Amino acid sequence: MEEKVYLTKEGMEKLSRELRSIKEKERPETVERLALARMQGDLSENTEYAAARDALAFIDGRVEEIEEILKNVVLIEEKNGPKESVDVGCKVTVRTNGNEHVYHIVGEWEADPSQKKVSPSSPLGRALIGRRAGEEVEFEAPAGKVIFTVVKID
């Protein structure tokens, strides 16, 4: 049984664009590099050939990975308007030390803390899932315990 991959529409489109770019541009360019390097003669000492061969293997692996992800996608529906509690797809506004931050709860493959996109399995995601506006939440961050209040759930 394949593992489900939860993605937002934006995340699915991003992966689809990457796959298209690899298939239409990167892979053909690498195949051409490989062919040119092969024509240089002795392959045992041909570093350009080895580099192109390795690059092609990496590209083919990435294509396979993206195709597998897209085959098993479960689309996370964007939730418009206020929600009762935090769930995947929500944007959550929290307040800590007088500062407000907005986090987007996304699937594992889209998680990017620098963009404030967190997965439900991350410490922050686990702390937020199921919470309601007005609730105080506490979780262990790398820098220590963090306490904040859920302000709004969209």
pLDDT of residue 1 exceeding 60, the answer is: no
Mean pLDDT (the chain, rounded): 91
- Element (H or E) spanning 36, and its range? helix 27-38
| Domains within the chain, CATH numbers bracketed | 5-75 (1.10.287.180), 79-153 (3.10.50.30)
- Provide DSSP, 91-145: EEEEEETTEEEEEEE--GGG-BGGGTEE-TTSHHHHHHTT--TT-EEEEEETTEE
Structural contact between residues 111 and 123, judged by C-beta atoms closer than 8 angstroms: no
* pLDDT bucket at 115, cuts 50 / 70 / 90: very high
Tens of pLDDT along 85-97? 999 889 999 999 8
Tens of pLDDT along 40-80? 877 777 889 999 999 999 999 999 999 999 999 999 877 66
Long-range contacts of 95-99 (CB under 8 A, 24+ apart): 95/148, 95/149, 95/151, 96/146, 96/147, 96/148, 96/149
